Amino acid sequence: MLKKTLLVVMCGFSLVACGGGGGGSSSSTPTTGGTTDNGSTTTPVSDLDKAKKLIQTTNSIVAYYDGFQDISEQYKVPAQVINETASDLSRATGLLLAIAEVVAEDAQGQTKSYTTQQIQDLIEANSADYKFVSNTLTAKVAGETITISGNAKLQYWQGYDWDKVTADQAWSKVEAWFNDPTYSIYADEAEVTASNLTLVAPFVDTPRTTYNFKIQKDGKISVKNQNNQTASFSATAESTASIVYASNDTIENREDIPAKATISLKGIMLESAGAQFALTELTSIAQKVTFKSGVETVEQLLPLELTLKGTVTYLQESLNLDATIKLNNDFSKPIDVSLGETATNFINANLAVKLSGKLKGANAAPTPFNLDISAKRAEFVQGTATVTLKVDQNALSIDLIARNLDQEQKIMDATIRHANGAFVQVNDIQNFKSAAVQVGNSSYGTVTKNSSGQYVAKFTDNSFIYITP
């Protein structure tokens, strides 16, 4: 989650390098220029007041984000439940995938329906990972499409009962004793429910170059663990994935890596402990890339583009995420990493992140906020980024330049702007000493760091605004 360190990196830099929950000021609230509702004329805002407004706005935004430092305590209960049920949901998914695999293998491309007992017999014949307590699961196979519905209570394999194995000398008396549930320990009972879960996948391993996967819409997996904690996974849209190889073969015989892989997850909903995560979109494109180091070459499947969109809601608070990262390098030829990054061989990438929603932060009630980041590196020695922050009616933009990227000691410059025209420009943030608060070409104050570690803005009218760490 966002903490005050986010402001250190993206907003505060020289002004608020250690964050801060508000500050004192001897200046009065600036008046706004223009016309009032009754038509009378007000005094225009002075450039000095604009300079103060920049620092006051920075203070308000920092105070809001500074409130996230206790976010872990605020969400301790739902976070704990989500953490505990995530493994339950993962294991439930593993069970249903195991069922899909064994019925598809048994059907061998035919259209067949499977009863509860048939499913249980196939699972027990192929795996000792599960012990059914009760079971109403059924399945239908039509080509590569498998649909599973029903409910099962089961326990999960924990390990072998070595005392019993030794006492019975099972290795000499029982054929394949390790698959005999008599010699296994089961625990962590859970109830798994599948509602119209429909998967399309090549579970039967036949020679091919392309493997296509699909989760059809309207399917749902629910789980309740032994502590009566619940979690669910549902699909409100169709999701797909594809893996492409250069040669025609079976998975069992393959030693190469895919030439290309794509995934497109959409409309995925996860719910647990009153928290809801809606994955609107997760798309990724990966390509086989050859890396060269001296005489050695290594092939890897490298993600070239990733998009993530989703929403998290809990009680009255919400957080929306829209993020994209894209690599712009030419990966059609081997990438020489022998000397690390060079002027002709460096990471060329674009990053765009948008965070918005309503979170409390340091406020008593959920407050609207926006955080937009657009970053680009198209040069070996330099990268740029633009950050805009808005908390309720307070807004700032920050232009960032990272220099000397080819050196061990990087340099970061920042220009922090208010919409009224006031700005602070800081060169070499790491070695910040002071910076002018400007409007146009004129300075109306100076930001410095005093001996107590406080950041202080002193203005030309001898007023001060303190931004305390």
The answer to the question of residue 107 being in a domain is: no
Report the domain count for the chain. 1
Other C-beta atoms lying within 10 Å of the C-beta of residue 41: 9
Other C-beta atoms lying within 10 Å of the C-beta of residue 228: 7
| pLDDT tens-digit readout, 132-145 | 999 999 999 999 99
The answer to the question of residue 142 being in a domain is: no
Closest CA to 291 of 251, 329, 240, 263: 329
Domain that holds residue 375: 67-82+204-467
Residues facing 307 on adjacent strands: 283, 324
Entry pTM: 0.77
The answer to the question of residue 27 being in a domain is: no
The answer to the question of residue 45 being in a domain is: no
The answer to the question of residue 359 being in a domain is: yes
* Contact (Cβ atoms closer than 8 angstroms) between residue 181 and residue 156: no
Cα(145)–Cα(244) distance, integer angstroms? 20
Residue-wise pLDDT tens for the chain (469 aa)?
A: 323 333 333 333 333 333 333 344 444 334 334 444 444 444 457 999 999 999 999 888 887 877 665 555 556 656 666 677 788 888 999 999 999 999 999 999 899 999 999 999 999 888 889 999 999 999 999 999 999 999 999 999 999 999 998 998 888 876 778 878 888 999 999 999 999 999 999 988 899 999 999 999 999 999 999 888 888 989 999 999 999 999 999 988 998 899 999 999 999 988 887 788 888 999 999 999 999 998 899 999 999 999 999 998 887 888 899 999 999 999 989 999 888 888 888 899 999 999 998 887 666 678 888 999 999 999 999 999 999 999 888 899 999 999 998 888 899 999 999 999 999 999 998 888 899 999 999 999 999 988 777 789 999 999 999 876 5
What's the pLDDT at 71?
57
Q: Which two tokens stand for residue 243?
A: 């893996």
The answer to the question of residue 339 being in a domain is: yes
CB contact set of 378 (below 8 Å; sequence gap of 6+): 328, 348
What's the pLDDT at 468?
60
The answer to the question of residue 373 being in a domain is: yes
What 83-90 contacts at long range (C-beta under 8 Å, 24+ apart), as own/partner pairs, is 84/225, 84/227, 84/229, 85/223, 85/225, 85/229, 85/230, 85/231, 85/272, 85/273, 86/231, 86/272, 88/190, 88/223, 88/225, 88/229, 88/231, 89/221, 89/223, 89/231, 89/232, 89/233, 89/270, 89/272
The answer to the question of residue 392 being in a domain is: yes
